[in-house]
């Protein structure tokens, strides 16, 4: 299982395989973000990818963490 966050800026090189098959991306200086939430099955990875809402991000000591922990 792979987990991504809505509108979070990812380096293209790090998520290229994870985002295989998704068309709705915005590329800004080598970074991409996803503008929706949901899940899909990635045929390349043979695994599920979950895109969680950005409201789950919490700033903890200057780091953005999902649920304040991860």
Query: Phi/psi zone of residue 67: left (φ > 0), alpha (ψ -120 to 50 degrees), beta?
Result: left
Which of these ranges, 3-7, 9-13, 21-25, has the smallest mean pLDDT? 21-25
**Token couple for 46:** 């043979």
Confidence of residue 65 (pLDDT cuts 50, 70, 90): confident
DSSP 37: -
pTM: 0.81
| Distance, CA of 70 to CA of 43 (rounded, Å) | 26
């Amino acid at each position: 299982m792979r987990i991504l966050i809505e509108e979070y800026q990812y380096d293209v090189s790090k998520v290229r395989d994870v985002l295989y098959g998704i068309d709705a991306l915005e590329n800004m200086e080598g970074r991409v973000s996803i503008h929706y939430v949901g899940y899909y099955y990635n045929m390349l990875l043979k695994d599920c990818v979950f895109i969680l809402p950005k409201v789950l991000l919490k700033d903890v000591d200057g780091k953005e963490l999902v649920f304040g922990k991860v």
